[in-house]
Every structure is written in structure tokens, then in C-alpha cells.
């Protein structure tokens, strides 16, 4: 049976000077650091012979995907999939500075106690499950190929919880973190994940620091 390798990539660093929770809002592009990170991920994956990159439709994921693709020896096929979107509950939180969320978005406490209790909030198996459904679909449709998926922190970390078989709680979703431009490498036999490992983000110099 052909082994399929899929790299689950979190989008790179975002320009966000007001430190808002941006959720599903438009207009949040990568920062200079983020662009450097995405290019470095592309350099790292250049030898992997990526055939296809499937990405969240949100701007920061699209830009990360395009920059990765620009560094590949042969451009990959690019495909948007809404199943890779940010967590749906972030629609309730978006537009608010991080530090104001507990005061201005009080349902956040219910969300943190147990995901899935509130309307519009996804349980961890739903959140991670939609990422893994894309991964398994790709493995079935393109067996033996090497591909990448570009998504967001909570969906990717929830998928990691499911892969590991860890308890479905808030502590576990943040115990193993996929950093910006971090990668979770997953190998599948058929549509069954058989091995996975985390690859930290490439170390790049922040262009803003270099210019200072």
C-alpha cells in the first residue's frame, strides 16, 4: 500500500499591531516576519516534491500557501477548502483585543470550560475532525503523493489531539502547540494515519529587527 505524506502547516506570523483576535476577518495579511517564515517553509519543503497544497480560504493561509509554493522546484496545485477554516467560535471573539476578551465576550468562559456546549462552538472532535477529513480525502484521491495542508492553530492542534488519542479538553489542545509556520508531518497508509511528528518553525531573522 502506498505511503502518503501530508504536511499540516500553520499559517505564518500575521501583521496585527493592535493585537486583535482576527478570527475570520478579512484584511489580516502576513507580517514581514511571516513572509520570511513562509518562504523558509517553502525552502524546507522544496526537496519533498509537493504535488498539491490545500489551504484555508482565509487571507493569511492563502498568502502562506502562495509563498511556500513560490519556493518549490515545481509549483504545486493549489486548492482552497473551507473545512480548513479557523475555529467557528472565533467569529464571536473576533475584532476584540486579546486582553479584553474575558470582559467583552463572556461566553469565552463557557467555551474554555468545554468546547461544543454553545451554538456555533465546535467540539474538539468536530474541529480536528474536519482537518483530518481533508487529510484522509487527499490520501484516498492521491495515494503515494506528498502534499501539504495550510490551516490555523486550533483546528491543527485539535487534529493532533485526535491523532494522539488524548483527552478532549482545553488543556490538551494547548499542551502541544503548532506554532506559526510550524508543521505536523503525517504519514498515511490508505486513509489511516500511521506516524506523525512535529517540525518546529524554521528559524528566520525578523526583518523588522534587522532594520532597527
Q: What is the pLDDT of residue 76?
A: 98
Kindly report, residue by residue over 29-49, the tens digit of the pLDDT: 999 999 999 999 999 999 999
pLDDT for residue 203: 94
pLDDT at residue 20, as a whole number: 97
| Chain segment 175-202, per-residue pLDDT in tens | 999 999 999 999 999 999 999 999 999 9
Q: Pick out the chain residues at pLDDT < 70.
A: 209-212
CA distance 128 to 140: 19
Q: What is the largest CA-CA distance in the chain?
A: 53
Q: Check residue 210 and give its pLDDT.
A: 59
Distances (CA, A) of 23 to 20, 26, 48, 82, 148: 9, 9, 31, 14, 22
| Residue-level pLDDT at 15 | 97
Give which of 60, 58, 84 is closest to 159, Cα–Cα.
84
Instruction: Say what the pLDDT of residue 207 is.
Output: 80
pLDDT at 206: 82
How far, in Å, CA of 73 to CA of 61, rounded? 21
pLDDT computed for residue 18 by the predictor = 93
- Round to whole Å and give the CA distance between 40 and 70: 11
d(CA 10, CA 2): 26
Contacts of 118 (CB under 8 A, 6+ apart): 89, 107, 110, 111
Phi-psi group of 120: left, alpha or beta (phi > 0 → left; psi -120 to 50 → alpha; rest → beta)? left
Does this model's pTM top 0.85?
yes
For residues 5 and 185, the answer to whether their CB atoms sit within 8 Å is yes
Amino acid at each position: 500500500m502506498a505511503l502518503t505524506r501530508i504536511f499540516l502547516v500553520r499559517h505564518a506570523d500575521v501583521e496585527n499591531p493592535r493585537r486583535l483576535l482576527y478570527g475570520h476577518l478579512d484584511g489580516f495579511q502576513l507580517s514581514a516576519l511571516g513572509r520570511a517564515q513562509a518562504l523558509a517553509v517553502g525552502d524546507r519543503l522544496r526537496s519533498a516534491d509537493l504535488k498539491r497544497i490545500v489551504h484555508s480560504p482565509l487571507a493569511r493561509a492563502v498568502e502562506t500557501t502562495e509563498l511556500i509554493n513560490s519556493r518549490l522546484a515545481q509549483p504545486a496545485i493549489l486548492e482552497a477548502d473551507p473545512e480548513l477554516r479557523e475555529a467557528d467560535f472565533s467569529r464571536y471573539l473576533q475584532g476584540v483585543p486579546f486582553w479584553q476578551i474575558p470582559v467583552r465576550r463572556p461566553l469565552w468562559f463557557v467555551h474554555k470550560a468545554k468546547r461544543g456546549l454553545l451554538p456555533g462552538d465546535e467540539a474538539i472532535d468536530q474541529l480536528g475532525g474536519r482537518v483530518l477529513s481533508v487529510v484522509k480525502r487527499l490520501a484516498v484521491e492521491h495515494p503515494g503523493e506528498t502534499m501539504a495542508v495550510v490551516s490555523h492553530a486550533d483546528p491543527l492542534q485539535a487534529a493532533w489531539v485526535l491523532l494522539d488519542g488524548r483527552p478532549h479538553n482545553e488543556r490538551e489542545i494547548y499542551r502541544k502547540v503548532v506554532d506559526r509556520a510550524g508543521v505536523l508531518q503525517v504519514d498515511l497508509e490508505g486513509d489511516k494515519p500511521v506516524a506523525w511528528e512535529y517540525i518546529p518553525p524554521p528559524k528566520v531573522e525578523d526583518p523588522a529587527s534587522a532594520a532597527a
